[in-house]
Amino acid sequence: MKVKVVGGGLAGCEACYQLLKRGAEVTLVEMKKIKKSPAHHMDGLCELVCSNSLKSQDINTASGLLKAELDMLDSMVLRKARECAVPAGNALAVDRDLFSQKVTEELCGFDKFTLVDKVEDRIFDNDFDAVIIATGPLTDEALVPAMQEIFGSEFLYFFDAVAPIVTADSIDKSRCFTASRYGKGDSDYINCPMDKEEFINFHRELVNAETVPVKDFENNVFEGCMPIEVMAGRGQDTVRFGPLKPVGLTDPNTGKRPYALLQLRSENAQRSLYNLVGFQTHLRFPEQKRVFSMIPALHDAEFVRYGVMHRNTYINAPQFLDETFRLKDCAQNVYFAGQMTGVEGYVESLASGLVAGVQCFNRLSGIPQTDFTDCTITGALTKHVALSYGKYSPMNSNFGILRPLEENIRDKSVKKQRYSERSVAIMKQITEKL
């Protein structure tokens, strides 16, 4: 059994692992050593190009529940993420470099794994029993014509934005404090408070700051990753109750809750770099330095990476893919995985790669396809991809996509707990069959 996987991101690497551990021969095609997208900088696999956080680990959240399901399904990428974790309260954040290194080493340790450095320009390949396309939301222009032959005009676009990173040494420690919201975690965040006057001045400059010119086809902004300046343009309270919300935190210098507050999260195990949480942006670099330095704790901040905005491409998956992520009505076994299918988020992407890898192996081996059911986050995401109706848009993991509980529970916390308990029980049955 020979399978080609195109794209060495989270989805592609997880698909490779699921196939390799089952005995398949896998060739992974990755272009980064030859050509990098505007958002990529490393040569290794599984590079995280946006935040370094994989969100909450609390099993009573949708993100945490998805992680629990993937742990049960033996997700290699998630396992490596845990090995590379950096302090981030109740969230799973990783050291990017170490994470990429460990995933690369894991896959290269398989005898039946081949890594090919190439800019892929075709989808169908008769030299393989199946092909999995996981080129991500920044699919290179060389592959676009081949995709257009399949999808025609059904390409959709939205934009993702990358938050800036500053050095720890350049943060004014007298103007900030360490704490996790509501006391959860081990004071893993650096909190940068602002009083009312400071916030109003900051907001005024933010909404009037100069942005990078946007082309006509670049105007479809995805609500789940909105640039901070776009959010600020909707009003002061939009950001003050969004990325700058001060709730759950008390400034020890004043004994009061700040008027507004920016959180900084560690980017690496050494805690030498911190990213501005929720500050994805499309501002010009000089403007980022000028405006973000208005936050008192960042008045002399050293920016080692400015925020950038880049095109994300996803296909109209319900029209073209089934619940296994396989191309419908196609004589050849072609699968798609990752954010290009309309699953939004790191963990969601690797989940799609896991499903595609498992289902691809099942099909080639004559094994019945696995039904993950919409009682699990994993299964609900696959059904969103294959069965959504109306205008299709990216979807994060959330309890709203799960099959409703049989009992009517009003208490939200209890309801989430019941969802989690049901999902874990069902996933246990699924993994026993696998």
Per-residue pLDDT tens digits of the chain, which is 434 residues long: 999 999 999 999 999 999 999 999 999 999 988 887 766 777 889 998 878 999 999 999 999 999 999 999 999 999 999 999 999 989 999 999 999 999 999 999 999 999 999 999 999 999 999 999 999 877 888 898 898 889 886 666 666 567 898 988 899 999 999 988 887 766 679 999 999 999 999 999 999 999 987 654 445 555 556 789 989 999 999 999 999 999 999 999 999 999 999 999 887 777 888 999 999 888 999 999 999 999 999 999 999 888 877 666 788 899 999 999 999 989 899 999 999 998 988 999 999 999 999 999 999 999 999 999 999 999 999 998 998 666 677 778 888 888 889 888 889 899 999 999 999 999 999 999 88
User: For residue 271, what pLDDT is reported?
Assistant: 81
Spatial CA neighbour of 362 closest among 318, 323, 316, 403: 323
Structural contact between residues 312 and 343, judged by C-beta atoms closer than 8 angstroms: no
Residues 235-278 have pLDDT tens digits of 999 999 999 999 999 999 999 999 999 999 887 777 888 999 99
3-state SS of the chain: helix, strand, coil percent to 5?
40, 20, 45
Side-chain-facing half-sphere of 113: CA atoms under 13 Å: 22
Span 365-396, pLDDT tens digits? 999 999 999 999 999 999 989 986 666 777 78
Could you give the count of Cα atoms lying within 13 Å of 168 in the half-sphere of its Cβ?
A: 15
CB 343 within 8 A of CB 322: no
pLDDT score, position 155: 67
pTM of the model: 0.77
* Domains by residue range for the chain, with CATH: 2-158+313-427 (3.50.50.60), 163-307 (2.40.30.260)
Hey, which residues does 265 pair with through a beta bridge? Answer: 275
Give the whole-angstrom CA distance, residue 156 versus residue 17.
29
What pLDDT shows up at residue 38?
Answer: 67
- Give the integer Cα–Cα distance in Å for 299 and 275: 15
| Amino acid at position 189, single letter | Y
Q: What is the pLDDT of residue 194?
A: 97
What is the pLDDT at residue 18?
98
Q: What is the pLDDT of residue 39?
A: 67
- Cα atoms found within 13 Å of the Cα of residue 419, Cβ hemisphere only: 31
Write down the pLDDT at residue 184. Answer: 74
| Cα(274)–Cα(4) distance, integer angstroms | 37
131-164: pLDDT as tens digits: 999 998 778 888 988 988 898 866 666 665 678 9
